[in-house]
Amino acid sequence: MNKFFEQLKYTFLYELIYPIIQILQTLDWFLKSKHKHTPQLIKQEIIKSHAKKYKLPILIETGTYLGTTVNANKNIFSRIYSIELDKKLYNRAKNKFKKFKNIEIIHGDSSVILPKMIQKITKPCLFWLDAHYSKGITTKGAKETPVWEELASILRHKIKHHVILIDDADTFIGKNDYPTIGKIKKVMLKENNYYNIEINYNIIIITPRHLSK
């Protein structure tokens, strides 16, 4: 049954029923006192609220998956880049968003692509880091998650007031290629106090210190 449901995610039928699934997940989350598995609808509101607060025109996502984040924000950002490792998921998203000129779906390993791509960025961005292997229809790269390399490339960038949102904070316990929260905080302190870091709704939220007041 699980295998059938995973394959269903590639189909048009899933596109039709997914909005209902999102609503049910959100209701379940509220009824269960907001457990750690934050539903997609809440995540998207967090992305939108940070984009608005910090006036960010560009969204860069790692881990396109089914294109949920891209779809929810296609009219919010003037430019969206989304990187996907799995070829089948990449093709699905590429086809889904082919009519949107402000959206670019990129195929490959984000630990390799992001450091190169970010060199062309001249404006502050909102980064949504969610590339990781989670079984099912996802593909495993050289690591279970490239988040450490992704984060390093962002912190090396000449612009020091990006906003970085990292999903699934509860997985950052120092196993399966995930750094610990403590390690990330230590790196943040080395960045001349450019950034604040906090955890809300199971998301690691990194914001520019001088703009956070």
Q: What is the pLDDT of residue 192?
A: 59
| Per-residue model confidence (pLDDT) at position 5 | 59
Classify residue 205: in a domain, yes or no. Answer: yes
Instruction: Say if 102 falls within a structural domain.
Output: yes
What is the Cα–Cα distance from 60 to 104, expressed in whole angstroms? 10
Mean pLDDT of 193-210: 89
The b/e string for 86-116 (b: 16+ C-beta within 10 A; e otherwise) is: beebbebbbebbeeeeebbbbbbbbbbbbbe
Q: Does 203 map to a domain?
A: yes
pLDDT recorded at residue 11? 76
Q: C-alpha 54: how far from its chain's center?
A: 17
What's the pLDDT tens digit per position in 139-159? 887 899 999 999 999 999 999
**At 195, which CATH number?**
3.40.50.150
Higher pLDDT, 18 or 185: 185
Q: Please write the tens of the pLDDT for every residue from 110-146.
A: 999 999 999 999 999 999 999 987 777 788 878 999 9
Domain residues for the domain of 183 are: 38-211
Count of positions (residues) in the chain = 213
Question: How far is Cα 209 from Cα 213, in angstroms, rounded to an integer?
Answer: 8
Q: Is residue 186 part of a domain?
A: yes
Asked if residue 70 is part of any domain, the answer here is: yes
Per-residue pLDDT band at 213 (split at 50, 70, 90): low
Q: Count of domains in the chain?
A: 1
Task: Classify residue 193 as exposed, middle or buried by CB count within 10 Å of its CB (0-12, 13-18, 19+).
Answer: exposed
Residue 113 covered by a domain: yes
- Considering the domain boundaries, does residue 187 fall inside one? yes
> Which pLDDT band holds residue 85 (cuts at 50, 70, 90)?
very high
83 part of a folded domain: yes
Per-residue model confidence (pLDDT) at position 79: 98
CA-nearest of 121, 132, 213 to 170 is 132
Percent of the chain with pLDDT over 90: 68
